[in-house]
Amino acid sequence: MFMPEGKSLRGLYSFVSERTGGDGLKVLKALGDGATDDVIEQKTSFKVSNIRHLLNVLHENGIVNYTREKNMQTGWFTYTWYFDVDRTTQNLLRAKRRQLAGLKVRLTKEETKDFYQCNKKCRPHGFEEAFDNSFKCLECGCRLKPEKDSHKEKRLNELNEQINSLQQLLGNFESNEL
Ligand SMILES: [Zn+2]
């Protein structure tokens, strides 16, 4: 089984934590190369009922999968759970690519948008809103002035930072795929 390391693994863990919470991540880390309920119980000290619930949540999110084996004497099945790295990676890439595309659209919109604000620093108004109200603040009635370039720059920088960190995360995975 391919197992990512370093930044890619941390990226996967934080994705799992976003989807299933910290306890879900603990169960995942206890799986190793594959584990039964009993082994997970020993490693996490969680109750078995809680472990089963967390495994279900992980399974619903496509993060874990299982193999089962029938005990010929008792007729019972033993489930061995494992981390489905490939599927989790695909889910993560899909979600992060969608998020990145959304941020890029927002950046393009914000780059072309001008905002107007009063001296009291009430909320910023878009051009149309400011124009419709004769460039008077809708909250205090003072005159609206174009937003300072430094404010706009700050907003755009924040968006750019988010975009860069997503691109870095995606880059880590894509270089592993080669
Ligand atoms: Zn105002």
Question: What average pLDDT score do residues 32-59 get?
Answer: 95
User: Residue 49: how many CA atoms within 13 Å on its side-chain side?
Assistant: 0
**From the CA of 154, how far away is ligand 1's center (Å)?**
21
H-type alpha helices, 31-119: 37-44, 48-60, 85-112
8-state DSSP, 116? E
Q: Which amino acid is at 41?
A: E
What's the CA-to-centroid distance between 62 and ligand 1, angstroms?
Answer: 50
Q: Report the share of the chain in percent with pLDDT over 70.
A: 97
**pLDDT reading at 1 higher than 70:** no
Per residue in 115-147, pLDDT (tens digit) is: 899 999 898 898 999 999 999 999 999 999 998
Q: Which residues, in sequence order, are CB contacts of 124 under 8 Å at separation 6+?
A: 115, 116, 117, 147, 151
Ligand 1 centroid–CA 144 distance in Å is 8
**Residue ranges of the domains in the chain?**
6-83, 93-177
Distance 114 CA to ligand 1 centre (A): 17
The residue assigned the tokens 């010929």 is 72
Going by the DSSP 8-state scheme, the letter that residue 144 receives in this structure is P
Among the listed residues 40, 47, 45, 53, the one whose alpha carbon sits nearest the alpha carbon of residue 81: 40
Rounded to whole angstroms, the Cα distance separating 146 from 173 reads 42
Whether 110 and 155 have beta carbons less than 8 Å apart is answered as yes
The yes-or-no verdict on residue 178 having pLDDT over 60 is no
- Correct CATH for 6-83 of 1.10.10.10, 1.10.40.50, 1.10.760.10, 3.60.15.10: 1.10.10.10
